Amino acid sequence: MNKVKKQGLEKAYQKNGWSFISVAVVLVLVFNIYPIINSLILSTMTGKGVVMRFNGLGNIRRLFTDTVFQTALKNTFTFFIIQVPIMILLSLIIASMLNEPKLKFKSLFRTAIFLPCVTSLVAYSILFRSMFSFDGIINKFLLSIHLIADPIPWLLDPFWAKVTIILAITWRWTGYNMIFYLAGLQNIDPSIYEAARIDGASKFRQFTNITIPMLKPVILFTTIMSTIGTLQLFDEVVNLTGGGPGDATLTLSQYIYNLSFVFTPNYGYAATISYVIVIIVAVLAIIQFKVGGGKDE
């Protein structure tokens, strides 16, 4: 009898539990699972606007002949390969410097470096466009110190346009990663650094042999998050260069947007390209876990 009552209570608890999470489950199914499944089906369709027809693997075959897609893919990987390592290393160095016990005004410096992360995207994009314009303050400063002879066409030249976007992204997101590294550094026992100093280890040796190995899980996390963010790069490109000059700074996310809302809509092909980003992110994340995770991760 007691066993029967116990089973009855367990079933009642299970029903109550499911009733509590049922709303959340429905919301996840409607707003997460359904869009994923629907976009996967959509990637097999083609057509203009809402008039769609089944296309099988046609959209995938189109990727190999679409020069605009290939340009966007190359640009996206250029931003990823150059910007992410620079930002990660810069964040680590700044975090290590701001973690020094004897440094004064640490809170002020930390706030100043983190502040770009909460700055309005449109506001900072307008500011950067003004600063890096042909007659902007950057060119005026470089000319005044005789570092350049002629103004640099930051937003008009394909190479310098990429440099401008990389500078903008680095300025905005370095402080974000720095916060994670500072939190990780707080958990490292200061006696480890003290022992290293007694043994005669330089600051560089302490950074490479203590800081980086002990922040390995945090570095892995920030690298994966930065990889995802860079491969989905959209806002800075649209607001700073619009993908130009030509398609020199066009990214995959902007190309998806153009296919959906700027050109004659082709939602099926846009969905196919979005899954290209998903696959690239998944592959790179797996590689980063294998390389940076180690045996104990």
Q: Which two tokens stand for residue 49?
A: 């606007």
Range with the lowest mean pLDDT among 3-7, 39-43, 226-230? Answer: 3-7
pLDDT at 5 over 70: no
Q: What's the CATH fold of domain 67-293?
A: MetI-like fold (1.10.3720)
Contact 169, 83 (CB under 8 A): yes
What type of residue is 282? Answer: A
Supply the pTM of this predicted model.
Answer: 0.86
pLDDT digits (tens, 9 = 90+) for 11-48: 666 777 777 888 888 888 888 888 889 989 999 988 88
Give the Cα separation of 291 and 55 in Å (integer).
Answer: 38
69-99 as b/e, with b when 16 or more CB fall inside 10 Å?
bebbbebbeebbeebbeebbeebbebbbebb
User: What mean pLDDT value characterizes the chain?
Assistant: 88
Beta-ladder partners of 53: 46
Q: What is the pLDDT of residue 170?
A: 94
**Number of other CB atoms surrounding residue 21 within 10 Å:** 10
Range with the lowest mean pLDDT among 9-13, 62-66, 114-118? Answer: 9-13
pLDDT at 249 over 80: yes
Give the Cα separation of 46 and 266 in Å (integer).
Answer: 7
Q: What is the pLDDT of residue 7?
A: 61
Give the Cα separation of 206 and 166 in Å (integer).
Answer: 29
Q: How many residues does the chain have?
A: 297
Contact 182, 95 (CB under 8 A): yes
Secondary structure (3-state) at 201: coil
Give the Cα separation of 119 and 26 in Å (integer).
Answer: 35
Q: Where are the alpha helices (DSSP H) in the chain?
A: 2-28, 34-42, 58-63, 67-98, 106-114, 121-131, 137-144, 158-186, 190-198, 203-206, 212-214, 216-231, 235-240, 252-257, 267-293
Beta-ladder partners of 54: 45
pLDDT band at 297 (very low <50, low <70, confident <90, very high): very low
pLDDT band at 280 (very low <50, low <70, confident <90, very high): very high
What distance lies between CA 21 and its chain's CA centroid? 31
DSSP 210: I
